[in-house]
Amino acid sequence: MAALAFSHEGDSSLSAPTHVRINDCNLHVATVNGSGSQTANATLLRAIFQMGVPVSGKNLFPSNIAGLPTWFTIRVNERGHLARTRTNDVLVAMNPETAADDIAAMGPGTVTVVNAGIPLPELPSDRTVHVVPCGKLVEPIVPDAKLRKLVVNMIYVGVVAHLLGIDAEEIDRALGSQLGRKQKALELNRAAVNAGLEYAREHLPPAPVRIERRSLTDGKILIEGNTAAALGALFGGVTFVSWYPITPSSSLAEALQGYLERYRRDPQTGEATYAILQAEDEIAAIGMVLGASWAGARAMTATSGPGFSLMTEFIGYAYYAEIPAVIWDIQRIGPSTGLPTRTSQGDLLSAAFSSHGDTKHVLLFPASVEDCYQYGMQAFDLAERLQTPVLVMSDLDLGMNVSMAEPFAYPEEPWDRGKVLTDEELDRVKTFERYRDVDGDGIPYRTIPGQRHPAAAYFTRGSGHDEQARYTESSETYARVMDRLARKHETARRLAPGPVIDRAPHAAVGLLSFGSTAWAMDEARERLREDGLETSHLLLRAYPFHPDVRAFLASCERVYVVEQNRDAQMAALLRMDMPDLAPRIRSVLHYDGLPIDARSIVERVLHGEREEVVAR
Amino acid sequence: MSTPANKTPSAAPAANRVGLTLADYKGARSTLCPGCGHDAITNSIINAAFELGLEPHRLAKLSGIGCSSKTPAYFMRRSFAFNAVHGRMPSIATGVHIANRDLQLLGISGDGDTASIGIGQFTHLIRRNVPVVYLIENNGVYGLTKGQFSATADFGTKAKVGRTNELMPIDLCALAIELGCGFVARSFSGDPKQLRPLLKAALAHRGTSVVDILSPCVTFNNHEGSTKSYDHVKEHDAPLHDVTFIPPHEPITADYEPGEVRQVTLFDGSRVTLKKLEADYDPHDGMAAMVTLRRAREAGTFVTGLLYVNAQKPAFDREVGMVEAPLASLPLDRVRPPRRVLEEIMEAHRSGAAPR
C-alpha cells in the first residue's frame, strides 16, 4: 500500500522499543462527531480499567450532533493521577479535517496511528507514525457501506490494543458489556477489533508506553458525575424533579428519570412515588421546584449557566421567603451561550449572590463522583434544614466524564427534613410564627400546606414581611428579618461540609482547590515537591466558608487559590469573607474551557514564588 | 377576626356544611382603591367558598404580582397562600399540585400578570391541564404602576392620560379554548349573580379552569373612552345565559320549559344549568365558542357566561401517574429504595460488569 510508505517502520521496528513506560500514558483519539467513536473509546477505557489500572476519559466534543470534530483522551496512570495533561503519548487520527494539527501537536517519542488516505505533514524522525488502512480492513467485515462507517473505529481499538498491550480478552469483555444485548452489532464490532489487532500484530511494533495488569481497580466503579448525582437524589428521597434541557446538565435529569422510572414506580399498579416534568423553560423549572418544596416535597432541578441566569429571580424569592430548593449547576464556560460543551467554574459569584437585593446562598462544590452522590442526598438535608436554596456547583468535566470510585455506600442515616411543625406539635407550642427565630440559629419553623391545624396556615410572599409572615413596609422589621437571614447564613458555615485539609509540616505555601480542579492537585503538589516546594492543601467543599478555612489561610504565608475562571471568583469570595487575610491570597487561573492540568498549576505557582523572592 | 359587636348569641351567624361561618372565609382588610372591581370579586370568592363549604386547609391561594395578586390576603385567612413573582404563579401551582394533589388550588392573576409577562406559563399550565382555578381579574391596565396599557386593552381604548391603544388585545378565553382548556368562562365583577355560580363550577372542575373576570380599575381605567370602565362594561356585557350551580346530590328545584336550559355535569357530580337568554349556546362546542368570541369582539361587546366546558378531559395527575397519597406525605421508606437496589446499580458500574 502506497500510504504505508510514510510509515517510519521496517522489519526491525517490530521489535520492542528500548525505553518503555508502564501504566503511565495518554491516548488521544480524534474523530468526527456522530461517527460511533464513543463505543470504540469507551471500549478501550473499560478494557484498561478491567486490567486493574487506574484510568480516566475526557470527551472533548462540539456543540453539534454530527459532523464536527471531537476528541477523546484516555489517561492511564497507576498512581492515580487522572487529571487532564497537555501532552499525549499516542494519537489516533481519524479525522482528516483536524489531522494536520493533531499530528503536529505530538512531541518526540510519540506514536501516531493515522487512517490511510489522510495526508501526512513532514515530520521529524523521532515521531512514529503508523498509517493503518482502516477502511480497507473493515470492508470485508461489513458489506453495508452505511454500517461500515459506524464500525470502522473498532479497527483502531484493535490497533491500540496491540500498541499498548491491552489484553484482547478484556477488550472483548468491555465490548460485550456495552453491546451485549445487540448480538449482531457485537459480532460486527468484535470482527473489526480483531482485524485491527491482527493487522497491528503483523505490521506494527509495540509502543514505548505499555499497559500491564495490576489490581488497583478491583471492586471499583466507573461512573459519570451526573449519573452519580442522580443516584444521590434517588437515595436522598427526591419526590419532584423539574428541568429544562441544557448541556451539560441534561444527562443528570435523564439519568434520574431512568432510575426513578425503574425503582420508584410500582410495576403492578404503575403508580410512582415521584414526578418528573420537563418544564417550558428554566424559570418554570425553578418555579415548580419552589411550589413543590413549599408544599413539602423534596424537589430539585439541574441546569447550566444560561438556565441558571433565568432562575435568578425565583432563587432570590426562595432566599427571602425561605423555601428549600436543590439546584445543580453543571457549569460550562462563558458568558451568554459561551462554549456550551466546555468546562468551567465560572458561575461562583453569580451563584453565591444570585438575585437582586442582599442575597447570599449556600454552595456545595463536589470534587468527585462520590461527592456528587453524597451531595445528591445532603443537598436536600441542608436545603430543608436551612430552608433556603442549596446550589450544587458541579461542572461539565465532572458531570459528563467517567471517573473511578469505590462503590457508593448506602445511606445509614435517615433524612433531615428540618424544622417542620406537625399539627400535634402546633398543639404543644403556644404560638407559631413562620419567621420567628426561636432557637437563635436564624432558622425559623415551618408548617406544610394541607395541615389542618387552624394555626398552621401562613402567607408566603416575596414582599416585606414580619415574623408572622404578614405584609409590612416597616423599616425596622425589614432590617430585622434581613439580620436574621444573615444569622442563618452564619449557621450554614458549620452545617455545610467543612474543608478537607492536608497540611505539610513547615510549609509556608498553601494551595486551595475545589470541585474538579482538585483532580490535578495531588500531581501538582508532587511535582512542586520535586521542585523543592512543600505545600499544604485545602479542598474547599462549601460556601459560606467553614471556620477551618479561615484557620488554614491564617496558618499559611501564601495561599494559591486554584480555579477555572478568569476573574478569580473564589479568591474574591475568600477576600470578602476574610479581608484581613486577603494579602495572603494568590490566584492560579485557568479558563480556556479545557480541564485544568497539573503542569499549569505547577508553572504558575513556581512563577508566583519567584516573583515573591524578587519582591523581597 | 371577632364577630361584629351587634350580633347577639340568638342571631348566631349561619354555619355551612363544615360548620364554618362566612366570617371564617374572610381575610385581611383590602388595601386596594375603594370601589375596585377586585374587591367585588374577593367578595364573590368568599361567598362561593362559604356556600360550597370548602375546608380552608384543603385550599391553597396562589398569585403573581399586581393589584389582583394582592387579593389572596383578603379572603380565606385560614388557607395557606403563595404570592409568587410576576407572571410565574402557574409554575408554583404545578409544583404545589405535584407535592400535594389533595390541595385545591385557587390562583389569582391579572391581565398584566397573565397576558404579558406570564403568557408562557399560562399557556403551559393549560397545556398540562394542572388542576387550578385560574382567575384573571382583568382591567386592561397596570394599576400598581399607575395606568399603563396591558395586553388585554381593547384596540382603540383611551388611557386616562389620553393615549390611544393601537394594538389588538389578547383574548385570554379564546387562547385558553384554543389550547384545549376544559373549563373557560368570562364574567364581570359587577355581576356577582353570574360570577358566584361560575366560580363554584370552576372549583368543581377537575383540570385547569380559566375564569376571565372583567374588573374595572376605578382609578386608572374608569374614564370616558375606556372600553373597560364600569359603565362601558356594564353597557356592553352580553351574558350568554343565566348560570345556576347545583352541588352534587342536590336536586334541581327550578322548573324549566323544555329546550330552555342546558345542563352541564362536572367531574364531582355537581351540575351547572344554563338558562337560555337570547340565542341557544352550547358550551361543549369549542368551535362555536371561538366564533362567538370573535363576533363579540367585532361588535364591541363582552360575552359572559360559561364559554366552553369539557369535563372529560384527562386530569394531569393521572398522566403523571403519581400515587394516591400526596408525594409530600410519603415516608422515607417509600422514597428511598432498599440497599439491594444500590448494590445492583453499583454492580452494573463495576469493572467487567454484565451489560444492562
Query: Between A and B, how many CB-CB pairs are < 8 A?
Result: 233
What gap in Å lies between CA A486 and CA A361, rounded to an integer? 10
Same domain, A344 and A471: no
Arithmetic mean of pLDDT, A326-355: 97
Kindly report the nearest CA distance between residue B192 and chain A, in angstroms.
27
Q: What average pLDDT is seen over chain A?
A: 95
Same domain, A168 and A284: no
User: Which residue type is seen at B92?
Assistant: I
Arithmetic mean of pLDDT, B259-280: 92
CATH number at residue A110: 3.40.920.10
At B33, is the pLDDT very low, low, confident or very high (cuts 50, 70, 90)? very high
What gap in Å lies between CA A163 and CA A17, rounded to an integer? 11
Same domain, A579 and A533: yes
Same domain, A30 and A141: yes
Q: Give one DSSP letter per residue of A130-158, joined into a string.
A: EEE-HHHHHTTT---HHHHHHHTHHHHHH
- What does CATH list as the number for B17-325? 3.40.50.970
Q: Total structural domains in chain A?
A: 4
Kindly report the nearest CA distance between residue B107 and chain A, in angstroms.
13
Same domain, A429 and A390: no
User: Which residue type is seen at B146?
Assistant: K
Instruction: Mark yes or no for CB contact B81/A415 under 8 Å.
Output: no
Extended strands (E) in chain B? 59-63, 80-83, 104-110, 133-138, 141-142, 148-149, 183-188, 209-214, 237-239, 241-246, 261-265, 271-276, 302-309
Residue A411 domain-assigned (yes or no): no
Residue A485 domain-assigned (yes or no): yes
Residue A415 domain-assigned (yes or no): no
CATH number at residue A278: 3.40.50.970
Same domain, A119 and A238: no
For chain A, what is the radius of gyration of the CA atoms?
27
pLDDT of residue A3: 32
Q: Would you list the domain boundaries of chain B?
A: 17-325
pLDDT of residue A19: 85
Instruction: Mark yes or no for CB contact A459/B73 under 8 Å.
Output: yes
Same domain, A266 and A370: yes
Q: What's the first-to-final CA gap in chain B, in angstroms?
A: 63
Cell match 509540616: residue?
A505
Q: Which of A397, A414, A396, A382 is nearest to A542 (CA)?
A: A382
Instruction: Mark yes or no for CB contact A291/B327 under 8 Å.
Output: no
pLDDT at A467 over 50: yes
What gap in Å lies between CA B13 and CA A386, rounded to an integer? 44
Same domain, A61 and A176: yes
Q: pLDDT tens across A504-533, in order?
A: 999 999 999 999 999 999 999 999 999 999
Give the Cα-Cα-Cα angle A312, A313, A317 (nearest 5 degrees): 115
Q: pLDDT tens across A190-219, in order?
A: 999 999 999 999 999 999 999 999 999 999
Same domain, A201 and A296: no
Q: Is B353 on the interface with A (CB under 8 A)?
A: yes
pLDDT at A613 over 90: no
What gap in Å lies between CA B172 and CA B189, rounded to an integer? 17
Same domain, A322 and A366: yes
Same domain, A94 and A153: yes
Which of A177, A278, A359 should one mutate to test binding to chain B, selecting the residue with the greatest count of B CBs within 10 A? A177
Q: Is B315 on the interface with A (CB under 8 A)?
A: no
Q: Is B91 on the interface with A (CB under 8 A)?
A: yes
Residue A206 domain-assigned (yes or no): yes
CATH number at residue A573: 3.40.50.920
User: Which residue type is seen at B243?
Assistant: V
Q: Is B78 on the interface with A (CB under 8 A)?
A: yes
Arithmetic mean of pLDDT, B81-98: 98
Least confident residue range of A152-166, B46-60, B74-88, B264-278: B264-278
What gap in Å lies between CA A303 and CA A286, rounded to an integer? 10
- Residue A526: which domain range? 500-615
Instruction: Mark yes or no for CB contact B355/A314 under 8 Å.
Output: no
Same domain, A475 and A558: no
Instruction: Mark yes or no for CB contact B96/A217 under 8 Å.
Output: no
